[in-house]
Chain A
Amino acid sequence: MKTYRLRVNMIECEAHGVCAELFPERVRLDEWGYPIIDSEPIPKALLQHARRAVQNCPKLALILTEE
């Protein structure tokens, strides 16, 4: 079984906030609009949401890692 986690490249991130909109189960925004990401493994049921958030980040700063 692979473990999937969400990460953000904070250097690339420009606080568009798309991730929090598409994946509120695991992403919320801080007071400046930057994502605070829950680093727990993502269960299968949520993987689709995670992928959609990754694909729609305008800066391609969201990363889904698998181990």
Chain B
Amino acid sequence: MTSSSRTATLERAAPSGLPRLLAGYRPDESMSLREHLQLNRPPPRRGATRRGGPLIATIEAAGLRGRGGAAFPTATKMRAVVQQRGRPIVVVNGSEGEALSVKDQMLLTSLPHLVLDGAVLAAEAVGADEVVVAVDRDTRGALASVSRALAERRAAQLDPEVLRLVQLPTRYVAGEETALVQFINGGPAKPTFTPPRPFERGVGGRPTLIQNVETLAHVALIARFGPDWYREMGTADEPGSTLLTVGGAVHHASVCEVALGTPISDAVHAAGGLTSEVSAFLVGGYYGSWLKAGVAWELPLTNAALRAEGAALGTGVVYAFPAGRCGLVAAARVTRYLAGESAGQCGPCLYGLQAISDAMASIADGRQPAVMAQRLHQLFDEVRGRGACRYPDGVVRFVATALEVFEDEIWRHDSNGRCLAGEPPLLPIPAYDGRWQ
């Protein structure tokens, strides 16, 4: 056997097309370290100096952006950490507070080593000697899989970094970066005032690189196959593939991997197609925006295209809302849940979201809907931009776009009283135990 053919059998060939992240994925089964190494080979370490490792430039060339919701350039975040004084630390953000999104939980459950490879490679690139893997304590499958994966890596002495698991409370804002840091540091999982930002002073006072689970899985592949491969799909500004959680009125609610720029209609087909006519799509989940079905259907899934319609990709949720059902009743239920998820630290968020929720409930019940719709617009102005974090802004966007998209429903409620198209309830409300610690 020649050396080149041996290389070919040892190294995973750069996959052309899809799947990328989901190669070797088996539902509800965790890929063992042995299988992972067979498929992917060990994480390709390339060293780092005090000014960061070569992987940062590679990620920059790939144009990778975070998949936790904010779509911030990953390399920029890494550089910001490297430029601080003190030994950095890496946090894997596995808090998937977005109720409609399960893609991170799925990666942690089925492909934990891909995520952990990304984490240790990112750690090497920024010069971190420690990785905290933060997982929602209610996602039992993900927790078990990550625990086992960490034990496997330790037994195999695969990583020079110290990796430890932290279990997070199930709260919407627990994954907000400052909340995550405060919790890991022993406090409640509530956001803190900034500055300092975590990249300046985070876990244990150290410069902290916080990356979403899916983002790190992309890092693991970019480190292996390079930026040109990464850019083979997607758009020039938003390259690569992304995971979506497609749900609602579709035949197979599921996580799927698509190229960025794929139209929403194709994502729906990947989930088995629509089960009924739809009136609207909720894109980005409860932290996202409602779009009329006609507007959304052919819209490419990029932030550029979505922004033009007042939406964003967020965590990659696409939820199809069936026609003939009342979007206002559904949105009012979710709003009540979201108001309850305020950390309650900032007055405008605590009182404002409660007032918004009350006004939505009033509309849903047919009590003065027109007056309440006006009241809501005043509340949006009073609440937007006034929290220590961006949580209240997201709730305002959810409610404001619901009002826009389901505007006709408001008038129907005005003349008909209580809406009958609200039952049975649509849009899931997560159960949680209410603890922050």
A-B contact count (CB 8 A): 39
Question: How distant is the Cα of A6 from the Cα of B388 in the complex, in angstroms?
Answer: 15
Give, as a whole number of angstroms, the nearest-CB distance from B435 to chain A: 19
Size bracket, chain A contacts? 10 to 19
Q: How far, in angstroms, from A36 to B384 measured CA to CA in the complex?
A: 11
Would A30 and B193 be within 8 Å (CB), given that A10-B386, A10-B387, A36-B386 are in contact? no
Interface string of B338-377 (1 = CB under 8 A from A): 0000000111110110000000000000000000000000
- The answer, among B192, B351, B352, B382, for a CB contact under 8 Å with A11, is B192
- Complex partner residue of A9 from B348, B352, B382, B388, CB under 8 angstroms: B388
A10 to B346, CA, bound (A): 5
Nearest Cβ on chain B to A21's Cβ, whole angstroms? 17
Asked if A15 lies at the interface with its beta carbon under 8 angstroms from chain B, I say: yes
CB under 8 Å from chain A, chain B span 385-418: 386-388
| Residue A12 lies at the interface, judged by CB distance under 8 Å to chain B | yes
Distance in Å: Cβ of B354 to nearest Cβ of chain A = 10
How long is the Cα–Cα vector from A30 to B193 in the complex, in angstroms?
20
Which chain A residues (11-27) contact chain B, with CB distance < 8 Å? 11-15
Find the B residue at minimum CB distance from A9.
B193
Complex Cα–Cα for A9 and B386 (A): 10
A11-55 toward B: CB 8 Å interface, digit per residue (1/0)? 111110000000000000011111010000000000000000000
Please state if B192 and A10 are interface contacts (CB–CB under 8 Å): no
CB of B347 within 8 A of CB of A34, answer yes
Within the complex, the shortest CB–CB distance from A12 to chain B, in Å, comes to 7
Q: Which residues from chain A contact B191 at a C-beta distance below 8 Å?
A: 11
Residues of B within 8 A of A31 (CB): 382
Least CB separation from B347: chain A residue: A34
A27 to B240, CA, bound (A): 46
Interchain CB contact (< 8 A) of B346 among A11, A33, A36: A11
User: Per-residue 0/1 for B181-192: is the Cβ within 8 Å of any A Cβ (1 yes, 0 no)?
Assistant: 000000000011
- Nearest CB in chain B to that of A13: its residue: B347
Residue of A nearest to B345 (CB): A11
Contact A11 B348 (CB under 8 A): no
Interface of A is mostly: loop
- Docked complex Cα distance between A30 and B392 (Å): 15
Instruction: Give Cα A34 to B383, complex, Å.
Output: 11
Please, which residue of chain A has its CB at the minimum distance from the CB of B354? A32
A31 to B351, CA, bound (A): 9
Q: Give the CA-CA distance A11 to B391 in the complex, in Å.
A: 13
Q: Which residue of B lies closest to A61 (CB)?
A: B193
The complex places the Cα of A12 from the Cα of B346 at a distance, in Å, of 8
Question: Can you name the residue of chain B whose Cβ is closest to the Cβ of A7?
Answer: B193
How many angstroms from the CA of A30 to the CA of B347 in the assembled complex?
A: 10
Q: Which residues of B contact A30 (CB under 8 A)?
A: 347-348, 352, 382, 386
**A30-B348, A34-B347 given as contacts; is B193 within 8 A of A11 (CB)?**
yes
Residues of B within 8 A of A10 (CB): 193, 345-349, 386-388
Residues of B within 8 A of A11 (CB): 191-193, 345-346, 388
How distant is the Cα of A36 from the Cα of B386 in the complex, in angstroms?
8
Cα–Cα, bound, A36→B349 (Å): 13
Q: How far is the CB of B339 from chain A (nearest CB, A)?
A: 14
B357 to chain A, nearest CB (A): 15
Smallest distance from the beta carbon of B56 to chain A beta carbons, Å?
28
Report the separation of the CA atoms of residues A14 and B351 in the bound assembly, to the nearest whole angstrom: 12
A58 to chain B, nearest CB (A): 15
Complex Cα distance, B346 from A24, in Å, reads 21
Closest to A39 in B: B385
Q: B386 — which chain A residues lie within 8 A by C-beta?
A: 10, 30, 34, 36
Q: Which residues does chain A contribute within 8 Å of B345, judged by CB atoms?
A: 10-11
Q: Which residues of A contact B348 (CB under 8 A)?
A: 10, 30, 32, 34
The chain A residue with its CB closest to the CB of B386 is A10
* Residues of chain B contacted by A13 (CB below 8 angstroms): 346-347
9 tightest Cβ-Cβ pairs between the two chains A and B: A10-B346, A34-B347, A32-B351, A11-B345, A9-B193, A11-B388, A30-B382, A10-B388, A11-B193
Q: Told that A10-B346, A10-B347, A12-B193 touch, could you supply 12 new A-B pairs with CB distance under 8 A?
A: A10-B348, A10-B349, A10-B386, A10-B388, A11-B191, A11-B346, A30-B347, A31-B382, A34-B346, A34-B348, A36-B382, A36-B386
A-B contact pairs, 25 of them (CB 8 A): A9-B193, A9-B388, A10-B193, A10-B345, A10-B346, A10-B348, A10-B386, A10-B387, A11-B193, A11-B346, A12-B193, A14-B347, A30-B347, A30-B348, A30-B382, A30-B386, A31-B382, A32-B347, A32-B351, A32-B352, A33-B347, A34-B346, A34-B348, A34-B386, A36-B382
